[in-house]
Structure 1
Amino acid sequence: MKFQVEKIESFTGHKDCVYNVCGSSDPHRFFSSAGDGMIVEWDSRKPDLGSPLARMQNSVYALHYDASQNELWVGENFEGVRVFDLENKEQKFSIALNKAYIFDIVTYQNLAFVASGDGIITVIDRDEKAFKKHLKSSSKSVRSLAINPVERELAAGYSDHTIRIFDLQTFELKKQIKAHRNSVFTLTYSPDFETLLSGSRDAHLKSWDINKDYDLENQVVAHMFTINDIVYSPSGKLLATCSMDKSIKLWDAETLKLLKVLDKARHAGHGTSVNRLHWLSEESLVSASDDRSLSLWKIAQ
């Protein structure tokens, strides 16, 4: 499989590291969050015209777009969660949390799950705008979350090197996997929800077979340093990973065969850690970096 990859645009304006990027209801628009506390909306057709949505007092690692409600969930470190109505571009409600880093947010039906640095997964009832449950099975940080609606499971990656699987209805701990040799920074389920992928500070990318009780299916040493994010392309045929080693890599999703490396030397890529990725389409990938910028990549097969 041959690729032509080209960096189309850079999106600048953040005054600190860009930690996250997520989509919106418009396939051309996306949101970013950064160490400067700014939440910015961007249009891929107008890279110079970022539009601020909100400003937090603290840095923001966790950003989640919920298409079912057209809401943006923002995790402000040491404060809590804010939820924005994107139709009217205004805050709907906020919930204060423990004074800790907020690393990830996912939603499922009327629930939201918030992963934080104190080892707690906070379950929020979205209708009641209130706490429903606190899940704590480790004193170490919860770094990443992923939802499997088929099996009704929540996967959580921890800084104690494990992946834990929770029941989405009872919230009981179903399984604990000694997954990596270091913190599990990112998790994602395959589009058919038969595979769980994990990326770690140990630079390994691993796939776990859900139909075989999460047996290890495949693993590769994917990067030189921490894997920060793993995302499937819309078709499910490609994987993109990004790392603290400053690179983005494209993989065959089925075989985990490396197809392309995007870096500063070869493609005028980022000069520092690449923190998050988001596919706008099968041909368009957005990356967020510690270099305070986002990049738009055109991927032609």
Structure 2
Amino acid sequence: MLKIQVNKLHTLTGHNDCIYGIVEGPDPRFFYTASGDGMVIEWDLDKPKDGKLIAKVPHSVYALEVDKERNLLFIGHNFEGIHVIDLEKSEEVWSLKMTDQSIFDIKVVGNELYVGTGDGIITIIDIEQRAVKKHIKISKKSVRVFAVDPTKRQLAAGLSDHSIKIFNLADHTPIHNLEAHNNSVFALGYSPTKSVLISGGRDAHLNIWETKNYSLQESIVAHMFAINYLSFREDGNYFVTCSMDKSLKVWDSNNFKLLKVIDKARHAGHATSINKVLWSSYNQQIISVSDDRNVSIWHVEI
């Protein structure tokens, strides 16, 4: 087994409630976090202690997304809609009241914004027109997470009805309906380098799907409790999962073997559920956010 060294570099504080959202900026030196206190904070990986408040909204924020082409940050404001921040000016440039539900995930694809909500609807927004283009009702349960396969132009949606639904991005038609897990699907990611989709959920399993026909290749009991999110390293060789069991786990993308467990006992990790994780493309550090209101930054040497 590879000898992997893990060093905790920073614990960042500033949020007053559980942290639910994280996204890398158009300039990956910066990343953004959002929490139950409605605050969205910008962090600089070169000067990580100096967090900057970008936005404050009345309700909790679960979802953030960045439009790298237009230098915009999209904030999913629960029970309200979308707020859009111009990152160059650090100010809100538009907003859209589009739902009275929780917003669990947002993805930008070209000129379209995909918004997944608690009522089982995917709302497609035209970014240039700043208007709702289409509603697609896909379930009676929540749409929890999206993943985009840019090469095949497909969108995967993980749902609380235990399924994963695959859509054609060209015309939004459904392609596959995967009976994926025994409980809600919270984590989804397409490999950057292989024809693989990985899913994780409340059942604590990781499922490995090949993306030609979306057949299940392997199912792994990966954590003690719910898998909340996953993130690939930029080169596609490794990915990291985070869980309600308070641990991060680093995996080999080639054979799906567990390489490292990062937790409180061994690495002064988080004290409560880890809600999101990001493998930075700026410096290959791992960034995690938790119910303990802290942002942790890890250097992982593989």
The residue number in structure 2 matching 1:218 is: 218
| Alpha carbons 1:148, 1:193 under 8 Å: kept | no
* 1:252 and 2:255 aligned: no
1:1-301 equivalence runs, <5 A: 1-192=2-193, 194-211=195-212, 213-281=213-281, 283-301=284-302
**Separation in structure 2 between the aligned mates of residue 43 and residue 145 of structure 1, nearest angstrom:** 26
Aligned residue type for 1:221: V
Q: Deviations over 1:102-137 (max 9, x none)?
A: 000001110010000010000001111111111112
Shift of 1:48: 2.9
CA RMSD of aligned residues (A): 1.1
Task: Give the superposition deviation at 1:59.
Answer: 0.3
The 3-state SS of whatever aligns with 1:48 is: coil
Q: What is the alpha-carbon distance in structure 1 between the residues aligned to residue 26 and residue 134 of structure 2?
A: 30
CA distance in 1, matches of 2:6, 2:252: 15
- The alignment's TM-score, normalised by the length of structure 1, stands at 0.97
Please list the CA deviations of residues 248-286 of structure 1 after superposition, one character each: whole Å capped at 9, or x if unmatched.
Answer: 000001111000000000000000000111122464111
SS of alignment partner, residue 265 of structure 1? helix
Equivalenced residues, count = 300
Q: Indicate conservation of the 8 Å contact 2:193/2:235, yes or no.
A: no
- Taking the aligned partners of 1:297 and 1:20, their CA distance within structure 2 comes to 18
Matched residues, percent identical? 48
Specify whether residues 280 and 40 from structure 1 end up closer, same or farther in structure 2 by C-alpha distance, changes over 3 A only.
same
Q: CA separation in 1, counterparts of 2:194 and 2:126?
A: 24
Alpha-carbon separation, structure 1, partners of 2:193 and 2:266: 33
State how far apart, in whole Å, the 1-side matches of 2:294 and 2:72 are. 24
Amino acid at match of 1:67: K
Q: Tell me which amino acid in the other structure corresponds to 1:220.
A: I
Any conservation in 2 of the 1:283–1:300 contact (CA below 8 Å)? no
Q: C-alpha distance in 1, partners of 2:97/2:38?
A: 16
TM-score, with length taken from structure 2: 0.97
1:192 partner SS: coil
Answer whether contact 2:26 2:67 (CA < 8 A) is retained.
no
| AA at the equivalent of 1:7 | K
SS of 2:265's partner is helix
Please identify runs of 4+ aligned residues in structure 1 that moved more than 3 A: none
Unaligned 5+ segments in structure 1 are: none
